[in-house]
Structure 1
């Protein structure tokens, strides 16, 4: 029996009770999962290694999903353990950034107003200093300047109508109304 060749399936020779039982069928070898196109060139050993790597990656991705809430909790704990000075320093840095942005926007609006630009044009101004912003505003005005009109092309200017009187003043000569005269002219009424 020792001289018998080993089966080519890669399994050990049957021993013990398995050798005696004629109904025994060896388990089928595990088939590797289907591989994407192009993996056939790897051969059997490469396919097994690739399948093992893919399985390991799936396991690590699952483990990563399990650890994400723990990392978030750790960050919350770290934030809660920061000293008041660290928290105030972070808030100060954020406030300084907002102040710098507001100052930049204010300077941009000042230059735009001085140069006669619309708010939409002011938003397009570029530059870090007042001089750079003014130069950019001059270029922008030159690009969008309205064409010059001659005096004959201008619409006529309207002048206000003079001597308008409000409706509360009577059409009389402007004398004060005499209430007694009005009462005498009024027809008598009976109650």
Structure 2
């Protein structure tokens, strides 16, 4: 906006107006400039992919061996930690807990050292109570010959038992 002095003491403001066609043209020009900046993006992306493939192909055998060694060491460390978790869980689990349940809970133990795992196991298994001792023996029945319970005394003679029953009737 520009100010013009008309001499009457008050400045006048000149306003410029745009038609919709003017706005569309300005926006189109601006978008064209922005798209021009990134016109070669797909070509650069393809070249970067080719470069990565070439770099992978040029790796020396020693670099590839080092990568395989690192992966194997990481896998061995994971297996060792998993074994340690299971050992600690089996040691800290309450007596009588099923092994399948101990295995499930062993996966939840956190820590990297045996002390950390033992502390976590103590907290985890602290809420579990040992299973009540169940006897696998069959109970001894206190029956006497003639199928009389232990509290009743009889002669053991079935004929006498029949006579006693008949006399009650």
**In structure 2, distance between residues paired with 1:81 and 1:147:** 61
TM-score by length of 1: 0.49
Residue ranges of structure 2 left out of the alignment (5+ in a row): 1-20, 94-100, 141-169
Residue 111 of structure 2 aligns with which residue?
A: 127
Residue ranges of structure 1 left out of the alignment (5+ in a row): 1-29, 35-47, 162-191
Residue 146 of structure 1 aligns with which residue?
A: 129
Among 58, 78, 95, the alignment partner of 2:35 is 58
Encode CA deviations 1:56-89: one digit per residue, 9 max, x unaligned: 4434444222322221111110111111111111
Once the two structures are superposed, the pairs formed by residues 1-191 of structure 1 within 5 Å of their partners are 31-33=22-24, 48=26, 54-116=31-93, 118-143=102-127, 145-146=128-129, 157-159=136-138
TM-score by length of 2: 0.54
Q: How many residues align?
A: 116
Bigger radius of gyration: 1
Q: 4+ runs of 1 displaced by more than 2 Å?
A: 30-34, 50-63, 146-149, 154-158
Query: Higher RCO, 1 or 2 (CA under 8 Å, sep at least 6)?
Result: 2
Structure with the larger strand share: 2
The 1:86–1:118 alpha-carbon spacing in structure 2 relative to 1, beyond 3 Å, is same
Encode CA deviations 1:38-65: one digit per residue, 9 max, x unaligned: xxxxxxxxxx5x7666444434444222
CA RMSD of aligned residues (A): 3.6
**In structure 2, distance between residues paired with 1:98 and 1:133:** 19
